[in-house]
A = this chain, B = another copy of it.
Amino acid sequence: MRGPDQVERLVAMLARLPGLGRRSARRAALKLLQDPGGLMLPLAQALHDTAESVRPCRICGNLDTEDPCRICADPHRDQEIVCVVEGVADLWALERAHVHRGLYHVLGGVLAALSGVGPEDLRIEPLLERVAAGEIREVILALPATVDGATTAHYLADRLAASGVSVTQLAQGVPMGGALDVMDDGTLAAALKARRPA
């Protein structure tokens, strides 16, 4: 493959990454080309190694080099609490915040009638099976505060009702540091409705 075509192929691939448009992909390619040994080849190697070694966990759907993943395999974590998230990005966000010491369950999306995402497209059956196995006491629904997220939470609460497990969801309200005058109406309504003693 001849040069510019090869560079153009690289630019086209970089442009498929979220956050990079065509123009920034070109700038990224140039920055890489200006430091082949220091950045470009190590990045190629890291991509190759990671692609070869990272797999979804068969239990929770987390991405890890080990299967079951190290969260599922960690005996120090609370095996009785499972936090249900839309995707691995949300799992990582909760892990970075060090706020959940139980296990996780990655749905792989949320129900979305308009895009044709139904229950069978999500990892809902594996969640019901985990709960049916008996060790889980609480399922925390940490789904996005959107219409689709709320629909999915309702659906899961329904499906889990018969199991007798406690089903909770994240509180909604004004985020830390949030100024009231920039909040949308829905957030203000939710925060007011869920008000508590000061």
Contact = CB atoms under 8 A, between A and B. Distances in A.
Interface of A: 1-4, 6-7, 9-10, 13-14, 16-21, 24-33, 36-37, 39-54, 63-66, 69-70, 87-89, 92
B6 A54 contact: yes
Q: Assembly of this chain: how many copies?
A: 2
A32 B20 CA distance: 13
Given A13-B42, A14-B43, A50 B33 contact: yes
A50 B32 CA distance: 10
Nearest to A69: B3
Contacts of A9: 46
Contact of A20 (B3, B7, B19): B19
A18 B31 contact: yes
Contacts of A66: 2-3
A91 B176 CA distance: 47
Contact of A7 (B24, B37, B43, B50): B50
A61 to B, nearest CB: 11
Contacts of A51: 32-33, 36-37, 40-41, 44
